Amino acid sequence: MSEPPLFNLDPAASEAILCSIKKPVERALQEGGAEAAQQAFFEVVCPGLWQRLDEPRRAAYRENSPLLLPTLGAPTGTVTPRDLQTVEVPTCVVAGSESPEWVRRLARRLADTLPMASYVCLEGAGHATYVDAPESFARLVTEFVIAPERRRLTGCS
């Protein structure tokens, strides 16, 4: 799980998320439409990533941009810590050291709640860990599939 948006696990983090994302995205929507809102979202959640994406990848995100605001306004999932404690499979929760603090906090909380979870922080990666550090991410997934029972607690909080 790469920084999944399970906001209800940490209400304070959820509030920080809404405060940091919603205003810039709404302002961009008013000034430049859905595509500008998509780019503003990237700048808050994945700073610098939009500039590194090639045009085909940007186009794919642009096609989905009308879904951004409804998704941000939708109710968050209702997975509870009690639900998570029933998970009986090894799980790896990944965070990026350059992700916003609230995203890392949610990932850490998830890993701490799942009974068979490990938490790995990829140094130098942002929210899109698999884009920012593809080799490290692929190596991590491969290692996890080969030996999921290993608990790996590394890096950032």
C-alpha gyration radius of the chain: 16
Q: How many C-beta atoms lie closer than 10 Å to residue 148's C-beta?
A: 14
Residue with tokens 């595509």: 35
Predicted structure pTM score:
0.78
Please tell me the total count of domains within the chain: 2
Residue 90: φ, ψ to 5°: -60, 140
pLDDT for 144 equals: 87
1 belongs to a structural domain: no
Q: What CATH number does residue 97 fall under?
A: 3.40.50.1820
pLDDT for 11 equals: 77
Residue that terminates a domain, selected from 55, 73, 91 = 73
pLDDT for 149 equals: 60
Query: What is the spatial distance between Cα 52 and Cα 83, in angstroms, rounded to a whole number?
Result: 38
- Give 133-157 pLDDT, tens digit per residue: 999 999 999 888 887 665 555 555 5
Average per-residue pLDDT for the chain: 83
Same domain flag for 101 and 61: no
pLDDT for 110 equals: 92
Give yes or no for residue 10 having a pLDDT over 90: no
Residue that terminates a domain, selected from 73, 98, 114 = 73
16 belongs to a structural domain: yes
Same domain flag for 21 and 63: yes
2 belongs to a structural domain: no
Token pair belonging to 13:
């983090």
For the chain, give the DSSP string: -BS---GGG-HHHHHHHHHHHHHHHHHHHHHHHHHHHHHHHHHHHSTTHHHHS-HHHHHHHHHHGGGHHHHHHSPPP---HHHHTT--S-EEEEEETTS-HHHHHHHHHHHHHSTTEEEEEETT--S-HHHHSHHHHHHHHHHHHH-TT---EES--
When pLDDT is averaged across residues 19-29 and rounded to a whole number, the result is 86
- Give 86-126 pLDDT, tens digit per residue: 999 889 999 999 988 888 888 999 999 999 998 999 999 98
pLDDT for 153 equals: 53
Residue that terminates a domain, selected from 56, 73, 90 = 73
Q: Which domain holds residue 102?
A: 81-154
